Amino acid sequence: MARLREFDKEKALEAAMELFWEKGYEATSLTDLTSRMGIQRPSLYAAFGDKTELFEAALRKYMGSHASYVRTRLQKHASVKEAFRSYFESLVEAEYQGGENRGCFCINTMVELAPHDKKFEVLTREHEMYLAVIFQEKLGQGVQSGELKADLNAQALAQTLVVSLIGLTVLLKARPERLFADNSVSVVLSLLD
């Protein structure tokens, strides 16, 4: 008879996601994982497979919650310009609050694994494309409402905003002078005018 799992799989996955997000794939050991997740290796393997499969599950969990967060965050504002201003400025503000400097788990994976692992290249690209769709939807609302120019290429601008988001997120990990980041955000947001 099979033993019942004695741990909450979702909580364990959340713990693994947080650890991978903090340390990255390579720097995270199986001992680190089992300790943080509160489980033994056989349970880890039975529930999630190997380290790479666990990392993929953690990344997928993050990407789903991140995309949902971005969509919700942008929808809080009726004004498209205000939505993007608030979103980008909050990214900068969060980095200068003095807390953890983890960046974005997906972007960290893009930098660490995507260059030499096809699976993670595809996964991170899918997330980039999904964010571009979210951005494009919000820009489309601005075109429909008349807040943005009728001839705006919403797809190209959405993709440019994603590239800017990725660059800004990587840059902020090194905490440059605040004015450097603020000026960059101002120029990016001027693309909405």
In this prediction, residue 150 carries a pLDDT of 96
Question: Residue 75's CB: how many other CB atoms inside 10 A?
Answer: 13
Tokens of 183: 């000026």
Residues with Cβ within 8 Å of 34's Cβ and at least 6 positions away in sequence, in order, are: 40, 41, 44
> Percent of the chain beyond pLDDT 90?
89
In this prediction, residue 99 carries a pLDDT of 74
In this prediction, residue 100 carries a pLDDT of 77
Is residue 30 a contact partner of residue 44, using CB atoms and an 8 Å limit?
Answer: yes
Q: 119 or 97, which is more confident?
A: 119
What is the C-alpha separation between 140 and 150, in angstroms, rounded? 9
Q: Which fold has domain 63-191?
A: Tetracycline Repressor; domain 2 (1.10.357)
Tell me: pLDDT of 5 over 60. Answer: no
Per residue in 142-153, pLDDT tens?
999 999 999 999
> Mean pLDDT, the chain, as a whole number?
94
Q: What is the mean pLDDT of residues 30-36?
A: 96
Q: What is the mean pLDDT of residues 123-137?
A: 97
In this prediction, residue 142 carries a pLDDT of 97
Tell me the pTM.
0.91
Domain ranges, ordered by start, for the chain:
63-191
Per residue in 44-90, pLDDT tens?
999 999 999 999 999 999 999 999 999 999 999 999 999 999 999 99
Is residue 16 a contact partner of residue 33, using CB atoms and an 8 Å limit?
Answer: yes
Tell me: pLDDT of 34 over 60. Answer: yes
Alpha helices in 100-193 (DSSP H): 105-112, 118-145, 154-172, 178-190
